[in-house]
C-alpha cells in the first residue's frame, strides 16, 4: 500500500471515531498521528511482569495502593478482559512488539541470552521499525527478555541508555556504601539472604524449598524485606533514565518502553512500601483451601504447601508492596510528561506480560501447566487525551497481539506487513463489540507438550498433552475448580469450541495444529516448569 493511500484510509478511520467522540482530532488534526501543531504523537509503554489483573486500585482491589495507575485509568480506558497469549515472559513480549502469536514465531519458551536462536533480530519486524522509519526515537528500557536490543536497528540506542542507568546504579552502590541500606534486623526477622531479611516462618519454609527438586531456575522462595532503600533500586535508576530521554526528545517523536520486573520473584520489597501492608490483612483467595489434584506435583502447588498460610500472607504483602513501589516509579515518569507538557500528545499504555498465582488453588508463582485466568488475564490501561475517552471501562476481549496494531493506528503509522492482532481503537470508542473468544498457547509449538486454549465469555476449553480436555463453565465456576469435559451433555459444545480453536490455529500458522490428538492418545513428553 502506498503511503498516501494508507494516510487516506487512516484519515477515514479517524473520521469514523470522531463521529462518536468529541475529539480534538476531528476539527484540529489534519493528519492522523499528529497534534494540532503538526507534531507527531509519542508513545510511552509502561510494563510490569507477572502482574495479576485484579491487583490495581482502579480494578477494585481492596488493599493494594496504585494511585498513579488509578489516575491513568481515570484519564483513559481500562480493559477488564485483556489476555496474554502465553502465561510466561518471552512469548508474550514477542507478541506485544510483533502483533503475532508466539507459535507462529516458533517461540514457546523463555529466551535467556542474545545468542538464543529464538531471539528477535533482523529482519524480524516489530512495531518500532514502523515508527523509526518515521523519525521516532525508539528505546526499550529494563526487561526485554527477547535477546539483545542491538540486534534490532530500530532499538539501536537502547543498550547505551540501559548501560547508563546500570553504571549510575553501580556507582551509587560504591559511593553510598552502608547508606544504601536501612537498619536491621527487625523483630521477627530471622535470616539474612543477600540483602533480604526473611521472617522466622518464611526462613524455615525457604530452607525446605531449597531441598525440592524440579523447581524454577530462579529461587522463587525468597520472600521478605529488602534492606536496599527504594531510591537505589535499579528500577528507580531506569525511571530516571526514562525521564532523561523524555527531556532529550521532548521536541522530537519518541517511542519508549519502560519495563520492570516487579511484581516478580524474588518476592521482596523495601520500606516504606513493605510497611504499608499488614500480612494479616491480605485477603486470601476463595480457592486457597481448594487444591487441584492434577497440579499437586507442580512447583507452584508444592511451594504453596511448604509455605502455608503464614508464608502466603507474607508473599501477598511483598507482592502488593512491589506493585506500589513500581506505581511510584510510573508516577515519576508520568509526572515528567506533565512537566514537559507532553501529556496531551503522548499515548500511554500500561500492561503486563502475564498474571500470577497468589494462593489460588493453594498455589504460588506461575509454575503450573495451566491456563487459569489468574495467569492469562492482565491489566491494560490506555490514555491519549483528546483521542481516547477518559474514565471508560471496556469489557470487550483484548489481546496482547492487539497492542502493536493499536499503537501504529493511533500514531498514524503504516501497519506491520503481517499481524494477527487488530487495533483496539474501535473498542475504546465503543463502536466495536470485540472478538467472541481469546486464545492461549503453552510450550514449544512443535513439541508433544504443546497445549492450547480457547476462551469465550462462558466457556474455557483447554487442549492439554496426552489428549486431555479441560472444560470450565466460567459463569457457574469462575474460579475454574471443576473440569466438566467428561459430561456427555457437553460433547457437542466441546466439538464446537475445538473447531473454533483449530480455525484460529490454522489462520495463524500454529505448528501445533498437526500435533493435537484425540482424547487418550499417548504422547511421550510433558511440559517442564517455567
Q: Is 175 helix (H, G, I), strand (E, B) or coil?
A: helix
Report yes or no on 48 lying in a domain. yes
Using N-to-C axis directions, what is the helix angle for 158-176 and 234-248, rounded to 10°?
Answer: 130
Order across the sheet with 189-193: list the strands.
Answer: 189-193, 196-199, 223-226, 267-270
| 526 pLDDT higher than 50 | no
Which range has the worst mean pLDDT, 26-30, 87-91, 343-347?
Answer: 26-30
User: In angstroms, rounded to a whole number, what is the distance separating the alpha carbons of residues 4 and 13?
Assistant: 14
User: In angstroms, rounded to a whole number, what is the distance separating the alpha carbons of residues 374 and 356?
Assistant: 6
Task: Give me the CATH number covering residue 458.
Answer: 3.30.1120.10
Q: Cell numbers for 336, please give them.
A: 515528567
Q: Please indicate, yes or no, whether residues 242 and 374 belong to a single structural domain of this protein.
A: yes
DSSP 467: G
How many domains, the chain?
2
| 447 pLDDT higher than 50 | yes
Which range has the worst mean pLDDT, 7-21, 84-98, 284-298, 316-330?
Answer: 7-21
Q: Please indicate, yes or no, whether residues 469 and 405 belong to a single structural domain of this protein.
A: no
pLDDT recorded at residue 31: 61
pLDDT recorded at residue 177: 82
pLDDT by residue (tens digit) across 400-425? 999 999 999 999 999 999 999 999 99
pLDDT by residue (tens digit) across 300-321? 999 999 999 999 999 999 999 9
Across 456-460, average pLDDT:
98
Report yes or no on 506 lying in a domain. yes
pLDDT recorded at residue 4: 37
Across 246-261, average pLDDT:
98
User: In angstroms, rounded to a whole number, what is the distance separating the alpha carbons of residues 118 and 86?
Assistant: 16
Q: Which of 88, 97, 161, 105 is nearest to 129 (CA)?
A: 97
Instruction: Answer yes or no: are the C-beta atoms of 189 and 198 closer than 8 Å.
Output: yes
Q: Please indicate, yes or no, whether residues 233 and 98 belong to a single structural domain of this protein.
A: yes
Across 118-122, average pLDDT:
97
Q: Is the dihedral of CA 323, 325, 330, 334 positive or negative?
A: positive
Q: Please indicate, yes or no, whether residues 317 and 347 belong to a single structural domain of this protein.
A: yes
Give the containing element (helix H, strand E) for 92. helix 89-98
Task: Give me the CATH number covering residue 171.
Answer: 3.40.720.10
Report yes or no on 525 lying in a domain. no
Domain boundary among 379, 399, 428: 428
pLDDT recorded at residue 184: 82
Which pTM does this prediction carry? 0.91
Report yes or no on 144 lying in a domain. yes
Q: Please indicate, yes or no, whether residues 135 and 256 belong to a single structural domain of this protein.
A: yes
pLDDT recorded at residue 12: 36
Across 268-279, average pLDDT:
98
Q: Please indicate, yes or no, whether residues 372 and 502 belong to a single structural domain of this protein.
A: no
Domain boundary among 394, 428, 462: 428
pLDDT by residue (tens digit) across 484-500? 999 999 999 999 999 99
pLDDT recorded at residue 333: 98
Q: Cell numbers for 198, please give them.
A: 526473611
DSSP result, 126-161: -HHHHHHTTT-EEEEEE---SS-GGGSGGGTTHHHH
Residue the block writes with cell 497468589: 358
Q: Please indicate, yes or no, whether residues 378 and 483 belong to a single structural domain of this protein.
A: no
Q: Please indicate, yes or no, whether residues 270 and 329 belong to a single structural domain of this protein.
A: yes
| 179 pLDDT higher than 80 | yes
Report yes or no on 382 lying in a domain. yes
Q: Please indicate, yes or no, whether residues 311 and 411 belong to a single structural domain of this protein.
A: yes
- Other C-beta atoms closer than 10 Å to the C-beta of 74 total 14
Q: Computed over its alpha carbons, how large is the radius of gyration of the chain?
A: 23
Across 221-247, average pLDDT:
97
Report yes or no on 52 lying in a domain. yes
Domain boundary among 375, 408, 428: 428
pLDDT recorded at residue 23: 35
Q: Please indicate, yes or no, whether residues 420 and 443 belong to a single structural domain of this protein.
A: no
pLDDT recorded at residue 443: 94
User: In angstroms, rounded to a whole number, what is the distance separating the alpha carbons of residues 151 and 168?
Assistant: 24
Report yes or no on 223 lying in a domain. no
| 230 pLDDT higher than 60 | yes
Report yes or no on 96 lying in a domain. yes
Q: Cell numbers for 486, please give them.
A: 467428561
State the burial class of residue 479 (Cβ atoms within 10 Å of its Cβ: 0-12, 13-18, 19+).
middle
Average pLDDT of the chain to the nearest whole number: 91
Query: Domain containing 263: what range?
Result: 35-177+229-428
Q: Please indicate, yes or no, whether residues 233 and 326 belong to a single structural domain of this protein.
A: yes
Q: Please indicate, yes or no, whether residues 102 and 239 belong to a single structural domain of this protein.
A: yes
By DSSP bridging, strand 346-352 and strand 42-48 are parallel
Beta bridge partners of 256: 44, 139
Q: Is 470 helix (H, G, I), strand (E, B) or coil?
A: strand
DSSP 228: B
pLDDT recorded at residue 517: 56
Using alpha carbons, list the distances in angstroms from residue 105 to 95, 295, 444, 496, 506.
9, 29, 10, 27, 14
User: In angstroms, rounded to a whole number, what is the distance separating the alpha carbons of residues 281 and 249?
Assistant: 44
Amino acid at each position: 500500500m502506498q503511503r498516501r493511500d494508507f494516510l487516506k484510509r487512516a484519515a477515514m478511520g479517524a473520521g469514523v471515531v470522531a463521529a462518536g467522540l468529541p475529539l480534538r482530532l476531528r476539527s484540529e488534526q489534519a493528519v492522523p498521528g499528529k497534534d494540532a501543531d503538526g507534531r507527531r504523537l509519542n508513545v510511552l509503554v509502561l510494563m510490569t511482569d507477572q502482574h495479576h489483573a485484579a491487583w490495581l486500585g482502579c480494578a477494585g482491589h481492596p488493599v493494594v495502593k496504585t494511585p498513579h495507575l488509578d489516575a491513568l485509568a481515570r484519564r483513559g480506558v481500562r480493559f477488564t478482559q485483556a489476555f496474554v497469549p502465553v502465561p510466561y515472559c518471552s512469548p508474550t513480549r514477542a507478541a506485544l512488539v510483533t502483533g503475532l502469536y508466539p507459535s507462529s514465531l516458533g517461540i514457546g519458551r523463555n529466551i535467556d541470552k542474545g545468542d538464543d536462536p529464538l531471539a528477535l533480530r533482523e529482519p524480524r519486524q516489530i512495531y518500532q521499525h514502523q515508527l523509526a522509519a518515521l523519525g521516532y526515537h525508539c528505546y526499550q528500557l529494563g526487561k526485554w527478555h527477547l535477546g539483545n536490543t542491538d540486534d534490532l536497528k530500530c532499538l539501536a540506542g537502547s543498550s547505551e541508555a540501559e548501560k547508563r542507568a546500570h553504571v549510575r546504579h553501580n556507582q551509587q552502590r560504591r559511593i553510598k556504601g552502608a547508606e544504601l541500606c536501612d537498619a536491621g534486623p527487625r523483630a521477627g526477622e530471622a535470616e539474612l539472604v543477600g540483602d533480604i531479611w526473611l521472617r522466622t516462618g518464611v526462613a524455615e519454609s525457604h530452607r525446605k524449598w531449597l531441598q525440592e527438586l524440579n523447581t524454577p531456575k530462579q529461587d522463587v522462595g525468597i520472600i521478605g524485606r529488602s534492606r536496599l532503600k527504594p531510591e537505589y533500586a535499579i528500577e528507580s535508576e531506569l525511571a530516571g533514565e526514562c525521564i532523561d530521554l523524555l527531556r532529550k526528545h521532548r521536541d522530537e517523536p519518541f517511542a519508549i518502553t519502560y519495563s520492570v520486573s516487579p511484581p516478580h520473584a524474588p518476592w521482596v520489597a523495601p520500606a516504606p512500601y513493605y510497611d504499608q501492608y499488614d500480612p494479616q490483612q491480605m485477603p486470601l483467595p476463595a480457592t486457597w483451601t481448594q487444591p487441584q489434584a492434577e497440579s499437586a506435583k507442580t512447583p507452584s502447588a508444592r511451594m504453596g504447601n511448604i509455605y502455608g498460610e503464614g508464608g502466603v500472607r507474607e508473599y501477598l504483602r511483598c507482592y502488593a508492596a512491589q506493585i506500589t513501589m513500581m506505581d511510584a516509579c510510573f508516577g515519576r515518569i508520568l509526572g515528567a510528561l506533565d512537566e514537559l507538557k507532553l501529556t496531551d500528545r503522548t499515548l500511554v499504555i500500561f500492561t503486563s506480560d502475564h498474571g500470577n498465582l497468589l494462593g489460588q488453588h493453594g498455589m504460588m508463582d506461575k509454575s503450573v501447566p495451566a491456563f487459569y485466568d489468574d495467569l492469562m488475564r492482565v491489566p491494560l490501561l490506555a490514555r491519549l487525551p483528546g483521542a481516547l475517552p477518559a474514565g471508560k471501562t471496556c469489557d470487550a476481549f483484548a489481546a496482547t497481539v492487539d497492542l502493536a496494531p493499536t499503537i501504529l493506528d493511533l500514531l498514524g503509522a503504516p501497519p506491520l506487513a503481517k499481524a494477527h492482532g487488530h487495533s483496539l481503537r474501535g473498542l475504546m470508542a465503543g463502536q466495536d463489540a470485540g472478538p467472541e473468544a481469546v486464545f492461549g498457547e503453552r510450550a514449544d509449538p512443535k513439541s508433544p507438550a504443546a497445549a492450547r486454549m480457547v476462551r469465550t465469555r462462558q466457556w474455557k476449553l483447554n487442549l492439554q498433552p496426552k489428549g486431555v480436555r479441560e472444560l470450565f463453565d466460567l459463569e457457574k465456576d469462575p474460579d475454574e475448580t471443576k473440569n466438566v469435559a467428561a459430561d456427555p451433555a457437553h460433547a457437542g459444545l466441546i466439538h464446537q469450541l475445538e473447531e473454533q480453536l483449530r480455525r484460529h490455529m490454522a489462520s495463524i500458522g500454529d505448528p501445533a495444529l498437526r500435533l493435537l490428538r484425540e482424547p487418550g492418545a499417548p504422547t511421550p513428553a510433558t511440559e517442564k516448569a517455567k
